[in-house]
Amino acid sequence: MSSTRRLFFPTPLLFSLVLTFVVPSEGVPQPAYPGVAEATQEVPSAEGIVRELYDMVTFPKGTTPDWGQFRALFLPESVVVLRSTREATSVFTLEGFIQDWLDFIEGSKIEETGFTERIIRTHSTEFGDIAHVWVLYEAEIPGWGRPPQQGVDSFQLVRREGAWKIASILNEIPTPERPIPEVLRGEG
């Protein structure tokens, strides 16, 4: 995801939905959540926000994520903990996490190849204004000739002013000694 994950495989997470309210112009009501069907104007679920994150960090060659939209999915005080080696993790603020992404994109030259991070399976729980979303994902850099790398992310979200925001992300890489959690196992 980032330079800290390179020992396993660069596997960024990772959104194309802006969660800020749009100020109406010329008296015409505007959607509160761009990208959401105007007919329903439903607020995305916690899992929907997580899916937006993965959509955002999957990008074709010649482009990179929109970091303003990326930031909009998180609480400003959010924390991200990524597996960095087989024995260690790295802890980031939101801005540190974005910088780690920028370093990964530049260092791996993935703006030239693009990047794919695809959700394989999720397991979500919402309770009041908190939510937990487990994600089994697969990440790859097109054209590198390596098989996709699987990882597990654990998202904690909180509902603020009617919208879900990511409070933290914890990341782990499955190994034979550390198999995929049972809630994420299943048929294909």
Strands (E), the chain: 59-60, 74-83, 89-93, 114-127, 130-140, 149-160, 163-172
Residues 6+ apart with CB under 8 A from 8: 83, 149, 151, 173
pLDDT at position 153: 98
**For residue 124, what are its two tokens?**
């979500």
Alpha-carbon distance of 47 to 123, in angstroms, equals 9
Residue in this structure with the two tokens 């010329």, named with its chain if needed: 26
Q: Quick check: 181 and 92 in contact, CB under 8 A?
A: no
Structure tokens at 130: 């908190």
- Using alpha carbons, select from 167, 10, 170, 6 the residue that is nearest to residue 82: 170
pLDDT value of position 187: 58
**Predicted confidence pLDDT, tens digits, the chain (188 residues):** 443 443 343 334 332 222 222 233 333 333 344 443 343 456 789 999 999 999 999 999 999 999 999 999 999 999 999 998 888 999 999 999 999 999 999 999 999 999 999 999 999 999 999 999 999 999 999 988 899 999 999 999 999 999 999 999 999 999 999 999 999 997 54
d(CA 123, CA 136): 9
pTM exceeds 0.85:
no
Query: How high is the pLDDT of residue 143?
Result: 87
The residue ranges of every structural domain in the chain are 3-18+34-184
Q: CA 158 to CA 188: how far, in whole Å?
A: 30
Burial of 121 from C-beta contacts in 10 A (0-12 / 13-18 / 19+): middle
CATH 3.10.450.50 fits 3-18+34-184, yes or no: yes
